[in-house]
Chain A
Amino acid sequence: MNASAMVSIHGLIKRFAIGGSQFTALNGIDLMFNKGEFAGLVGPSGSGKTTLLNIIGSLDVPSEGTVMVLGQSIGELTHRQAARLRNEHLGFIFQTYNLLPVYTVFENVEFPLLLLKMPAARRRKAVLNALEGVGLTDKLDSHPAQLSGGESQRVAIARAMVKSPQIVLADEPTANLDAENSHRILQTMVKLNTELTTTFIFASHDEKVIGYLRRKITLNDGKVVSDNRFEHPVNMANIEPAPPGGSA
């Protein structure tokens, strides 16, 4: 495995039992993601994007092949080890935000830090920093039901970033957002990626997302059909340069 590889996938096959037969969602995937990548899995519905993202996120296990995430083999992790990996090193951003409805914005972002047993003072500082990074310090006490879609997704980003994870996995993060909010969210993520060198892996078929990617992996019928890198992504021109020393 490459020394800077965050994720290394070899011969990955994932099958699901559907009725009495087996459906192959991923069929012989070989990929590697390095530190600081801003990569996306693109392709039509049913191409296996979300399945691959779930396996990288240790929410699912391979049927065959190996998936190494931060040096840990996903297929061999116990429930507890997988939970620890997610808690300490991975951040998730979902299409439907998945905010905890009874918690305030502050509490939602604070949640991963509670699991990490971080002291209260440090926790508060980290939450405020993360919310500042997504521009939501004025919504600390709001509940998810009081937020717009764009605001909810920004809270989800803050929650994913608050513990400074090494990898952020985003599954269709803009699917429920309008164009303006989508660009805003993506620009925030690009900024965080640049400033913190956090690896971002997207699963999306949204052209707006694709326009920001520096690496586009196209999947079809569970196979990688192309893997392209871009020096200058289409939408990057819209982004203002990050101020020196900025943080989330």
Chain B
Amino acid sequence: MIALKLAYRNLIGAGRRTWLNVIVLSMAYVLIIWQQGLLDGWNRQALRDMIEWEIGGGQYWHEDYDPYDPFTLEDSHALVPTALADASGQPTAPILITQATIYPQGRMQSVVLKGVAPDQKALRLPTAALQADIPEIPTLIGTRMATSANLHMGDVVTVRWRDVNGAFDAAEAKIVRIMKTHVSTVDQGQLWLPLERLQTMMQMPGESTIIVTGQRPSEDRGRSPWVFRDRAYLSRDLSEMIRMKSVSGYIMYAILLSLALLAIFDTQVLAIFRRRKEIGTLIALGMTRGAVIRLFTIEGAMHGILAAIVAAAYGIPLLSLQAIQGFAMPQAVDSFGLAIADKIFPVYSAGLVTGTTLTVLVAVTLVSFIPARQIARLHPTDAIKGKLS
């Protein structure tokens, strides 16, 4: 109790030195929480976008389908079983996938054709545009695809594909809609066509490669040759990326924390150097060395507590404002291959705030304890005179 009272007096009495430390440390609190909150917000947003635009509540895959092996596309298609389509009790979207080549402005570019029903409700894809009654194949592409192939609304491009019998065929496709999506995996290198049109082109009536179930998590009702893939499976790449991002996030966390701790460590070392006469006096007045070490350690911990209060004073309004208004991401991040929205809305969970506060507090206390141990080595008679022993 006495150590607490004295530490408080010392802290308040030190004035500007205390407040400088407190401000630096409070910035570390706010920056760490902001950076982790931004990552969490990004991750949640990316997962939500992926669910809405690509994976839905889960997917049934043809057992031969492997998204990482385009050669499997030739054989991975089968009739869509009605029972399977209706079983989940929510809208489904069978998708037929095949490879093709397009020739925009005389250039040749490999693409993936994806046939989807224009009236599907399972995904957020704006497929209604595919209902256009035109002689060409109505085609929906994303902004990334439009940029890479230099295609614009209304452009007509030649598409060449190979049907189920291995015969090559070609037709004109017209861009009826360019969609803006944060999910590059439904955009990059892909052309979305009406499902029935693609089935006809491929001579695969009623068939698809995958079946997306609606937005609610679905259960496995698959039967051969359909294999159910749940959300966890379908988002494993994203999860892996999140994990890797988290690692880099922790590195940033460690760097920010280290900077703050360095400030405290520096202050405490300086304090012991400058305050050795005071330490000698405290010992002469009857404080034990242990009590002096405790006093300095508590002083350090109090820096952490004061910094948490100061951080809360300006950090809560600042971070709350950003959680509401979002953090605008630069245009360039669109091509990162990750689902990144124009604005990221940070998420500050209670765990993040409490965890960061406790981590910083414990670290600050430890960092204060280390130089305070030096006190034990000071000889009181030297310390009283301000000498180092």
A86→B289 CA distance, assembly (Å): 13
- Contacting residues, chain B, for A96 (C-beta < 8 A): 277, 385
- Contacting residues, chain B, for A122 (C-beta < 8 A): none
Contact with B2, one of A79, A98, A117 (Cβ below 8 angstroms):
A117
A34→B350 CA distance, assembly (Å): 67
B286 touches A59 (CB 8 A): no
Proximity bits, A114-130, B CB within 8 Å = 1, else 0 = 11110000000000000
A100 touches B380 (CB 8 A): no
A107 contacts partner chain B, Cβ-Cβ < 8 Å: yes
Give B324-356 interface residues, CB cut-off 8 Å to A: none
- Contacting residues, chain A, for B284 (C-beta < 8 A): 57, 59, 86, 92, 94, 98
B9 touches A102 (CB 8 A): yes
Contact with A80, one of B278, B288, B381, B385 (Cβ below 8 angstroms):
B288
B306 contacts partner chain A, Cβ-Cβ < 8 Å: no
Proximity bits, A45-84, B CB within 8 Å = 1, else 0 = 0000010001001011000000000000000000110011
Distance to closest chain A CB from B360 (angstroms): 25
A117→B10 CA distance, assembly (Å): 18
Identify the closest chain A residue to B2 (Cβ). Answer: A114
Using known A-B contacts A98-B384, A102-B13, determine if residue A111 contacts B288 with beta carbons closer than 8 Å: no
A98→B381 CA distance, assembly (Å): 12
Distance to closest chain A CB from B382 (angstroms): 10
B286 touches A101 (CB 8 A): no
A54 touches B2 (CB 8 A): no
B289 touches A59 (CB 8 A): no
- Contacting residues, chain A, for B14 (C-beta < 8 A): 102
A101 touches B381 (CB 8 A): no
B380 touches A115 (CB 8 A): no
The size bracket of the interface on B is 20 to 34
The size bracket of the interface on A is 20 to 34
A83, A92, A117: most-surrounded residue (chain B CB, <10 A)? A83
A187 contacts partner chain B, Cβ-Cβ < 8 Å: no
B13 touches A103 (CB 8 A): yes
Identify the closest chain B residue to A143 (Cβ). Answer: B13
B381 touches A79 (CB 8 A): no
B2 touches A101 (CB 8 A): no
B5 contacts partner chain A, Cβ-Cβ < 8 Å: yes
B285 touches A112 (CB 8 A): yes
Distance to closest chain B CB from A6 (angstroms): 18
- Contacting residues, chain A, for B379 (C-beta < 8 A): 60
Identify the closest chain A residue to B18 (Cβ). Answer: A102
A24 contacts partner chain B, Cβ-Cβ < 8 Å: no
A116→B286 CA distance, assembly (Å): 9
Proximity bits, B261-304, A CB within 8 Å = 1, else 0 = 00000000000000001101111111111110000000000000
Give A115-161 interface residues, CB cut-off 8 Å to B: 115-117, 159
Distance to closest chain A CB from B46 (angstroms): 51
A87 touches B381 (CB 8 A): no
Given contacts A99-B281, A115-B286, A116-B286, list 5 more A-B pairs with CB under 8 A.
A59-B381, A60-B379, A80-B290, A98-B284, A112-B286
> Can you list 28 pairs linking A and B with CB atoms under 8 Å apart?
A57-B284, A59-B283, A59-B284, A59-B380, A79-B288, A83-B288, A86-B283, A86-B284, A86-B286, A87-B285, A87-B286, A88-B286, A92-B285, A94-B281, A94-B384, A98-B278, A99-B281, A100-B278, A102-B9, A102-B10, A102-B15, A103-B9, A111-B285, A112-B285, A114-B5, A115-B2, A115-B286, A117-B2
